[in-house]
Structure 1
Amino acid sequence: MSAADRMAALLTTQTRQRVDFGALAGAADAGDSSLANSPRRRRILADAARTLATRGLATLPKGKDGWDHSAHPPLPRWVRRPPATRPPGRQPTPRAYVEQLAFATTMYLSTADHALLGPINALLRDEPDAEVVPLADRSYQLYGDEKRLKNIERHHLVTKGFLNLTTHLRARPTPAPLAMFELGPAPWLLIVENTAAFTSLREILGTWPDRSQVGWLAFGEGDHLIASLPTALTSFRERHHPVNTMLLYADLDLDGLRCAQKASERARAAGLPPLQPALGLYQALLNQTPRVHPPATTDDAHTAAAWLPPELAEPVTELLTTGLVLRHEALALPQLRTLLNPASPLLHQIRGGATSQF
């Protein structure tokens, strides 16, 4: 076995892409007791390195720093194994689908797509009128895993309109409920994104002198708020306490405003009243001291602030692009208590004169 062969054998056992040439030289020495003391050793090792490169088993360094020039011929300090080749993808075996999934027979689908559709196909074939159940229940039934369909609404077949939860999966999402507190009988709901502000407002509204002015207070943030908004309808129905006004108080930063926009869209899709910004709280928040934050681009700031009416959108856009944000904590409990005056109508103070157009 040649020095190149012994080096090649060692390369097959390595897991790292880059292999020290000293280890390869050691493998050559171990297979030939005379090589270590041979005056031609350096030449033999250099020839072996070139042979590895010629065979496509290793890539030699390109830069001068990758070579040892202390003697002639120069030797590489390391070699790089070629990246592992991926086996060619296999086209899934064609299969028969029920009429509702006929799209699967005319478009290219991955093995994972077919693995998803197989149990759904069996459900539609055997129980085409199956009761619509919680998504986690259906996931467990079809795949033996209650979380298998957790993010199915983001799957490309769903987002492109090919797969429908109700029609094909006979299932419905069951998000965690929105945390809601019925503080009074008034027909409005205020959603607060931050726990500190929520706790402060709950304390203030819980002791409001005129209880007829107080409605619902809810806590929700980020993806949880967006997913859980439709559950508010159940709370309204169970308590026989519907609302005609829904307001949101989120942080004045990109994340908070983007969440507000998505939540507003979700509320509209669920048949809830329009989700309006709590302008009275926002106007007061804008008068507080902002904190430094990496600046947003003009486009990002303008798009995020579009949820607010023009008189707030403009200063908020300027705030975000100059590298500042305003979080709820800037409008602390004492300021909130001063802002909300029991001598004035509560909803008007929270809305700040907002109308249903927002």
Structure 2
Amino acid sequence: MTGTVTGGLLTPRAARLAAELEAWGRRTVTLDELWTLYARADPASATRASRRTDLAAAVAALTAAGVLTPSKATDRTAAPPLPVRLTLPPPAASVSASQLARQVPWRPELAWAASSRLTVGQVGLLQAVNAWLRDRGRGTDVVPTRERSLELFGYEKTLDAILGTTLFGAGRLSLDLLRTFRAHPPLPVRTISDGHVLLVVENADTFDTLRRVLSSTAGHAVGQIAWGAGGAFEASVLSIAELTTVCDIAYFGDLDADGLRIPASAARTAAEERLPAVRPAHGLYRLLLSHGVPQSGQPSVDTKAVGPLVAWLGTEVAAPAEALLTAGMRIPQEALTGTVLDTDRTWLWDLA
């Protein structure tokens, strides 16, 4: 597929680049930044001899579609020349997108696209879905989202990026329509006892330390301990549905922005899926605050943004955590070594 426009419509490659540009956070894009966006939009291009020619064709097509305005200055270190800078229009549905949408012979399932406010990139992505529905719409296969995304768009992460957009919703795209589902990663779990508490730990070293300490400690209710693997827990929390003996989920992570965002997000997912609530391991957080040495060098969290981050911790720990984050500080959970955990056993109070 060397062309970029077919019958007046964007090819999937150009559509993916349009979507990347429309999600760009600034109005200008340098040539180096354009190459980065193109690598995301068309990963297979990395080893293709026509890579520069394909990008030049995509830029020309998107210029014609109103997605961008190329600079007059060009880079001529190789052929064909490429603009050294692109200027993007304000984020809004464009007239050219509406015109493009009206040219497409939409399948009945996508008829809404002809009269919807869409961007050029969205129209292009829907074209790929339209072709798939035409050719494969009556199939019976159901596959994970990244497999379907690669089939539809040539890039396995495109569906992840658009699931939360207006392309999905009642009467629009759905996972059922695309015969796909969001596969959740497994949650690494080790059994400690027959207790009812699942303790999830953000980082691998602290997971190992707590596993060893709990294995040699009596009088607690932790039946299983899991490694959250950082941000992976936002998705792997769904695996807890398979742990039928768990009725209490306690989480312990770093005291920093990501360390609080992860369990808060997982808690929302657990609530939506009617899993046991993901709560803070209060004793461990209290011990971390009393024994950990705050580290500087973190971006200061805005006072408006810090409230939702620390709310998950509850009133007991929220105030000191808020002061930590707004000061641009953090405390890594690795401060709780085996020696600390053995010396001060107060952290077990809410795990009993």
Quick check: 1:284 aligned with 2:287?
Answer: yes
Report the 3-state secondary structure (helix = DSSP H, G, I; strand = E; otherwise coil) of the residue aligned with 1:326. Answer: coil
Matching residue's letter, 2:271: R
Quick check: 1:197 aligned with 2:206?
Answer: yes
Equivalent residue, structure 1, for 2:125: 116
User: Which range moved further: 148-157 or 165-174?
Assistant: 148-157
1:13-69 Cα distance to aligned partner (Å, 9 max, x none): xxx9xxxxxxxxxxxxxxxxxxxxxxxxxxxxxxxxxxxxxxxx99xxxxxxxxxxx
Equivalent residue, structure 2, for 1:324: 329
CA distance in 1, matches of 2:255, 2:232: 18
- Report if aligned partners of 1:180, 1:219 keep a CA contact under 8 Å in 2: yes
Equivalent residue, structure 2, for 1:349: 349
User: Which range moved further: 305-314 or 120-129?
Assistant: 120-129
Report the 3-state secondary structure (helix = DSSP H, G, I; strand = E; otherwise coil) of the residue aligned with 1:166. Answer: coil
* Unaligned segments of structure 1, at least 5 residues: 1-15, 17-56, 59-80, 353-358
Equivalent residue, structure 2, for 1:137: 147
Equivalent residue, structure 1, for 2:276: 273
- Report if aligned partners of 1:165, 1:172 keep a CA contact under 8 Å in 2: no
CA distance in 1, matches of 2:264, 2:222: 25
Equivalent residue, structure 2, for 1:303: 308
CA distance in 2, matches of 1:266, 1:94: 40
**Which residue, 288, 301, 315 being the options, matches 2:320?**
315
Matches within 5 A, 1:132-171: 132-143=142-153, 146-158=156-168, 163-171=172-180
Distance change >3 Å, CA 332–CA 137, structure 1 → 2: same
Distance change >3 Å, CA 98–CA 289, structure 1 → 2: same
Equivalent residue, structure 2, for 1:65: none
Equivalent residue, structure 1, for 2:341: 336
TM-score by length of 2: 0.63
TM-score by length of 1: 0.63
Matches within 5 A, 1:30-41: none
- Same amino acid, percent of matched pairs: 31
Distance change >3 Å, CA 162–CA 284, structure 1 → 2: farther
Equivalent residue, structure 1, for 2:227: 219
Q: CA deviation at 1:82?
A: 11
1:151-199 Cα distance to aligned partner (Å, 9 max, x none): 34244423x6664442321210113212222222222211111222111
**Which residue, 244, 247, 251 being the options, matches 1:244?**
247
**Which residue, 102, 107, 110 being the options, matches 1:101?**
110
CA distance in 1, matches of 2:230, 2:171: 27
Matches within 5 A, 1:63-74: none
CA distance in 1, matches of 2:88, 2:199: 54
- Report if aligned partners of 1:277, 1:351 keep a CA contact under 8 Å in 2: no
- Report if aligned partners of 2:202, 2:227 keep a CA contact under 8 Å in 1: yes
Distance change >3 Å, CA 289–CA 129, structure 1 → 2: same
CA distance in 1, matches of 2:303, 2:157: 39
- Report if aligned partners of 1:204, 1:337 keep a CA contact under 8 Å in 2: yes
Quick check: 1:175 aligned with 2:189?
Answer: no
Q: CA deviation at 1:269?
A: 1.7
CA distance in 1, matches of 2:330, 2:180: 41
Aligned length: 264
Distance change >3 Å, CA 340–CA 351, structure 1 → 2: same
Report the 3-state secondary structure (helix = DSSP H, G, I; strand = E; otherwise coil) of the residue aligned with 1:115. Answer: helix
Distance change >3 Å, CA 223–CA 155, structure 1 → 2: farther
Matching residue's letter, 1:244: C
Distance change >3 Å, CA 335–CA 83, structure 1 → 2: closer
CA distance in 1, matches of 2:173, 2:85: 40
Q: CA RMSD in A?
A: 3.6
Report the 3-state secondary structure (helix = DSSP H, G, I; strand = E; otherwise coil) of the residue aligned with 2:159. Answer: coil
Quick check: 1:185 aligned with 2:190?
Answer: no
